[in-house]
Chain A
Amino acid sequence: MDKIKVKICCGTSCFVMGASQIQVLEFEPPADIKDKIEIEESRCLNYCHNTAAKYNHGPFVEVNGELIEEANFEKVVNKIREIINGTIK
């Protein structure tokens, strides 16, 4: 099984809205998903530049290409577990 790609936006607004807490995934990931993920930080994923949205909904994280808005540690971990469980079935 390929590793799950997690892309965390570390641009200024995502960072202050909580991306720094999501980075914990890289250094202390939960044991069950530790070997199954590949983390990549991005300087800016450019989602915040979409001014059509009223305000931006950072932090933004991509899990296997799927966008999570207003991401936090739990949301991202749940998404990863969903994918793992989904592929096992």
Chain B
Amino acid sequence: MTSSLFIDIGSSQVQKDGEDCFGDTVYAKKIPEEQRIIGILSDGLGSGVKANILSSMTTRMAMKFMEDNTELQRASQIMMDALPICQVRKISYATFSIVDSELEGKTRIFEMDNPRYIFIRNNRLFDIKGREFSSPKWKDRKILVSQINNLPEDRIIIMSDGVTQAGIGNKKYPLGWGRQGCIDFVLSTLEKDPYISSSALSEKIVAEALNKENGKKAGDDISCMCLYFRNPRKLLIVTGPPFNEDKDKEIAEMVASYDGKIAICGGTTANIIERELCLKCEIDKTSFDAKIPMASKMEGVDLVTEGILTLTDVYRMLKEGIDKNSNTASARLVRLLLGSDKIDFVVGTKINVAHQDPNLPMELEIRRNIVKKIFRLLQSRYLKEISVQYL
């Protein structure tokens, strides 16, 4: 488990100018039991509602077939038979790119008529020859299958032709931005920011493509999905004093030996770590806020905050979106959470009697409850890998 990769997956889309809905569909799904991630990008024939229906049908069908490991020829035949036939062009049509990745690093890519995927390793483009398949009934529809064994820091980018054909007909880009233009852009972006997240990278690609268009109006749906394979970024969150004081040392040792980022949430907890590890901890006055107690700085620890109030505010931000440009302790903790892939919670269950005072506001939750809410949200909405240990 520990040696397995983490896949950061992100996508971005712009719809064709003047249309009400996306003609492309992007859809990704994690299958935790199989340690597998499937990402699909489909471009429906035409644009608007019709294209939206074609591409969503293709995406959903493809996802089901991939999940069930249906044989490729059969799956593609059923998909093509099922799609409605376009009245104008007399064909049923939606292109697709499918990335099917296992966390040990085995990845298969299926493509039909989309621009070829971009695979980047060590900041260089790798062109991989795929094998061609076609079903007997639809001989001219070729599916390209490629297989990659992924290593950490690999990236795979799939896109619709809206990206490669951006700016087509312009004086500057008579044939469009092109796949090569996109590759050059990605490589130069990665040179500047090698650890950029998938969602940021796909947003940049789409924004750049839109830039090439006449009057910055998209002439076609522009969609892009990026996958970033990396060793998981780990974060340890220690919150609350342990029920038994003998465990203080255990918690401190966990903090001292952890191989990742560390956050401590709780005044008393921080005092315990400070005492056990003989570290110095100072209040960081740049994080002053009237609602959230200030953060502190401790050597070897990435963030020290107060407990319940900060965690309650973290939960609010995870639900409603992060406060931009905020420097409060809670905003810093949210950024730390969202920037991590694997988060280990260590929760001390000792109850602070002072918090049970009926004069205090209702919002003062019991630590265990608020932590439970936070990690459920991180799991379901943000697809983070979570472990929790109560002490």
Q: Which A residues are closer than 8 A to B by beta carbons?
A: 10-13, 15-17, 20, 23, 26-27, 40-44, 46, 48-49, 51, 55-56, 58
Contact = CB atoms under 8 A, between A and B. Distances in A.
Interface stretch (B138-146, B176-184, B348-356): B348-356
A68 to B, nearest CB: 17
Contact of A13 (B290, B294, B354): B354
Contacts of B354: 13, 48-49, 55-56, 58
Contacts of B364: 12-13, 16
B355 A13 contact: yes
Contacts of B283: 10, 40-41, 43
B288 A27 contact: yes
B271 A12 contact: no
Task: Please provide the 8 A-B residue pairs with the shortest distance between their CB atoms, ordered closest to farther.
Answer: A43-B267, A48-B354, A44-B267, A56-B354, A13-B354, A11-B267, A10-B293, A41-B283
B267 A10 contact: yes
Interface residues on B, range: 20 to 34
A12 B306 contact: yes
Interface in B342-390: 352-355, 357, 359-361, 364
A43 B352 contact: no
Interface in B309-363: 309, 352-355, 357, 359-361
Given A17-B360, A55-B359, A44 B290 contact: no
Contacts of B353: 48-49, 51
Given A11-B268, A16-B360, A55-B359, 8 more contacts: A10-B283, A12-B307, A12-B364, A16-B364, A43-B283, A43-B304, A44-B268, A49-B352
Contact of A41 (B268, B294, B304, B309): B294
Contacts of A12: 267, 293, 306-309, 352, 355, 364
Nearest to A48: B354
17 contacts: A10-B267, A10-B294, A10-B306, A12-B306, A12-B355, A13-B355, A16-B309, A16-B364, A20-B293, A43-B267, A44-B267, A46-B268, A48-B352, A49-B354, A55-B354, A56-B357, A58-B354
Nearest to B310: A12
A40 B283 CA distance: 8
B160 interface: no
B54 interface: no
A17 B290 CA distance: 12
Contacts of A43: 267-268, 270-271, 281, 283, 293, 296, 304, 306
Contacts of A16: 309, 360-361, 364
A26 B364 CA distance: 26
A22 to B, nearest CB: 11
A20 B291 contact: yes
Contacts of B268: 11, 43-44, 46, 49
Given A48-B352, A49-B354, A51-B353, A15 B296 contact: no
A14 to B, nearest CB: 9
A84 to B, nearest CB: 24
B111 to A, nearest CB: 54
Contacts of B291: 20
Contacts of A42: 267
Contacts of A44: 267-268, 271
Contacts of B294: 10, 41
A58 B364 CA distance: 15
Contact of B309 (A15, A23, A27, A46): A15
A59 to B, nearest CB: 11
A11 B355 CA distance: 10
A40 B285 CA distance: 10
